[in-house]
Amino acid sequence: MADKKLYATGRRKAAVARVWVKPGNGTITINKQPISEYFRRQTLELVVRQPLEEIEQIDNYDVFATVIGGGWSGQAGAVKLGIARCLSSMDDKYHKMMRTAGFLTRDSRVVERKKYGQKKARKKFQFSKR
């Protein structure tokens, strides 16, 4: 288990991330780019690194991910879930830590569709009595 890659899929909103985690020196690569180039916002990088920081192994595992669909926030959340799933399949101790931190629960909120006869999903056209 020390030298093999682990795979997991993470999803958030419309984004789907395929994530591989293997022992290494802490490099995170997303769509063949370093994390700092792909996610240009520091907050998104922090979101992706949360599972590794939870187990205090940020410099011991390499992460390679391919992400499609969604926006920046959804993609970061999808990668985070994928990393958490990989780590939880490694060790029962990691699984417990991921579960208590809430990283293994998929955020099922998605955009509500626009309804016909309305402006948006919830907003309606202005009612006129006369």
pLDDT digits (tens, 9 = 90+) for 42-87: 999 999 999 999 999 899 999 999 999 999 999 999 999 999 999 9
pLDDT at 4: 86
Question: Is residue 62 situated within a structural domain?
Answer: yes
pLDDT at 130: 84
Question: Is residue 80 situated within a structural domain?
Answer: yes
Question: Is residue 11 situated within a structural domain?
Answer: yes
Burial 64-100 (b: 16+ CB within 10 A, else e): bbebeebebbbbbbbbbbbbbbbbbbbeeebbebbee
DSSP string, 111-127: PPPPPTTSSSSS--PPP
Print the domain residue range for 33: 6-101
What are the pLDDT digits (tens) for 16-34? 999 999 999 999 999 999 9
Question: Is residue 118 situated within a structural domain?
Answer: no
pTM for the full model?
A: 0.89
Question: Is residue 51 situated within a structural domain?
Answer: yes
Q: How many domains does the chain have?
A: 1
Place of tokens 């187990």: 55
Other beta carbons within 10 angstroms of residue 101's beta carbon come to 15
| Position 13 pLDDT exceeds 80 | yes
Question: Is residue 27 situated within a structural domain?
Answer: yes
Q: Are 111 and 13 in contact (CB under 8 A)?
A: yes
**CA torsion sign, 90 to 78 to 58 to 95?**
negative
The CATH number given to whatever domain includes residue 52 is 3.30.230.10
**Distance between CA atoms of 11 and 23, rounded to whole angstroms?**
23
pLDDT at 1: 53
Do you know the residue count of the chain? 130
Question: Is residue 108 situated within a structural domain?
Answer: no
What are the pLDDT digits (tens) for 77-126? 999 999 999 999 998 999 999 999 999 999 999 999 999 999 999 999 99
Question: Is residue 39 situated within a structural domain?
Answer: yes
**CA torsion sign, 2 to 7 to 10 to 16?**
positive
